[in-house]
Amino acid sequence: MTAAEAMPQLNEVFPAPIKTVEPGSPAERAGVRPGDLLIRVNRQSVTDVLAYRHLLAQGRATLEISRPVERPSVLSGVLGVAQDHHRLEYDPAAPTFTFDVEWEDPGLDFEEVLFDGIKKCANKCDFCYVHQMPRGFRKSLYIMDDDYRLSFLYGSFVTLTNLTEGDINRILIENLSPLYVSVHTANQDLRQDLMKWWKLKVKDPQAVQIRGMIERLESIDLYTQIVLVPGRNDGEHLDDTVEYLSSRPNVISAAVVPIGLTGHRKNLPDVRTFTREDAQDTLARLNRWRRQFLAERGTRFVFPSDELYLLAGEPLPTEEEYEGFPMLENGVGMIRDFLTEGLPELPAALPAPRKVILGTGLLFAGSLDRAVEPLRQIGGLEIEVRPVENKTFGRVTTVAGLLTGRCFRHAVKPGEADLLIVPPTTLRYGTELMLDDTSLTELRTEFRMDVRPGGATLGELARVILDGVQSSGHQWGMSAHAVKESRGQA
Ligand code: SF4
């Protein structure tokens, strides 16, 4: 099959709103304006930016552009009084214009990376976080996406169970490598039992055969993850899965994370939490594999998440043992990475006394308390690490990234400190908004104190504590979430 044949041959078009037009570019010279819509390239529908770039990479391209038309729409305004509004939308009957490029970037940037919408998942996993979310959050957080394009673009994990034959061909021909795959187990029956895909939503029965799929994608590098459910896919099943994944040359690594539970499990099977003994057994198994792989192939291949070490009460691996932190976003190595940039030179005393509360999840509080101990020597600085119980998802949820404004309201009293520092992972990317849409500004007003995100490293956190410098720390939802929000589903 040629690259052109692999492109979706669709009658339907997916008008892609243009965000910016580069000054002096072919698009600008052709009269394209921000807000115009890309309709086709070389007479073909374009489903996403990857397909767009792929078509351009063939050399000559003719881009078809449409200008949206203004349509009246009557919305119910305040007090139920109808108000006239206008919105811009694509009109298939409107005239279009084209311009050509040849080995040249047209100069277009788009509002979204996916023009045809996010591909939804075909599963109902026993450990699905979306099914464990309390009600009342913004809609985008309930979207169950499983889109291989976002996996390639942003590293979000996909299960591959919703792929079509066309998707598979496209991945291979466009070389969408690497992809990030949730494997969970290499035992097909057990995977079906854990993930319970909906037969009607599975487009290609072959796609749910995880071993066959990994083997079919042999030219694509795969970073894999295993979410462990105690008593289901751990123990010897985990050994079998690690052994199988390590036998496939295209599998680069496997991250192992314990199931995350909330107090809002509805219509899901009973699952118990991961205990200290479960975590210790898992680490013992994985450490045997890690030693063997390191000796045989120079990489540890399998990487337990931070949570497993904290649950087991075992020391974290060294920086070197994380081999470049390829799965930081998956909670593998975040704490070691945080500790790696140590404390800056500390003053003997602050110019004025300051009390600082470091709010964090129950899981990380002990480690953070030990890490900031040297700061307690600074005269005039009072630091308290406050473990914040998750009042939104339930006490069983102990990670810092799922704390909300509601949790901090229960944990902090107005005026009791000068500065409250919250984990940067609690904030939506590029904003000061928490999962429940509480803003840091609201918390500042309510708590009558400064409230700031901490840092991605201990050094950054120390600077926020000492100088009030804004951190550049990691925030949640860097990618797939941003795409979901941008589709107006927020
Ligand atoms: S793949 Fe599983 S965990 Fe992910 S959204 Fe679908 S059901 Fe939930």
- Residue ranges per structural domain of the chain: 3-110, 130-331, 341-481
With a 6 Å cutoff on the Cβ, whether 142 touches ligand 1 is no
Nearest CA to ligand 1 atom 8: 128
For residue 146, which atom of ligand 1 is closest to its CA?
A: 1
List residues bridging with 66 in a β-sheet: 37, 96
CB within 8 Å of 152: residues ≥ 6 apart: 50, 176, 177, 178, 179
State the Cα–Cα distance between residues 155 and 149, nearest whole angstrom. Answer: 9
Q: The pTM is what?
A: 0.83
Query: Is cis: bond before 258, omega within 30 of 0?
Result: no
What is the per-residue pLDDT for 73? 64
Architecture label for domain 3-110:
Roll (2.30)
Q: What integer pLDDT is reported at residue 87 of this predicted model?
A: 73
Cβ neighbours around 184 below 10 Å, total: 26
52 φ/ψ sector (left φ>0, alpha ψ -120 to 50, else beta): alpha
Q: Find the 408 Cα to ligand 1 centroid distance in Å.
A: 28
Cα distances (Å, whole numbers) of residue 49 to 3, 10, 164, 363, 459: 16, 16, 19, 39, 38
Regarding the beta carbon of 268 and ligand 1, being less than 6 Å apart is answered no
Given this chain, do its domains 3-110 and 341-481 carry the same CATH topology?
no
- The pLDDT of residue 141: 76
Mutation choice for ligand 1 from 144, 147, 198, CB with most ligand atoms inside 8 A: 144
Rg (CA), the chain: 25
**What class does CATH assign to 341-481?**
alpha beta
Q: For the segment 120-176, what is each residue's pLDDT rounded down to a tens digit?
A: 999 988 888 787 777 777 777 778 889 999 999 999 999 999 999 999 999 999 999
How many C-beta atoms lie closer than 10 Å to residue 5's C-beta?
10
- 124, 125, 194, 266: residue to mutate for ligand 1 pocket, most atoms within 8 A of CB: 125
Q: Class for domain 130-331, per CATH?
A: alpha beta
Low-confidence ranges of the chain (pLDDT < 50): 3, 76-81, 469-490
- Residue matched to tokens 């055969």: 209
Please answer whether residues 403 and 423 qualify as being in contact, where contact means their C-beta atoms are separated by less than 8 angstroms.
Answer: yes
Secondary structure class of 166 (helix, strand, coil): helix
Distance 144 CA to ligand 1 centre (A): 6
* Rounded alpha-carbon distances, angstroms, from residue 266 to 130, 146, 392: 10, 21, 15
- Bridge partners for 180 per DSSP: 223
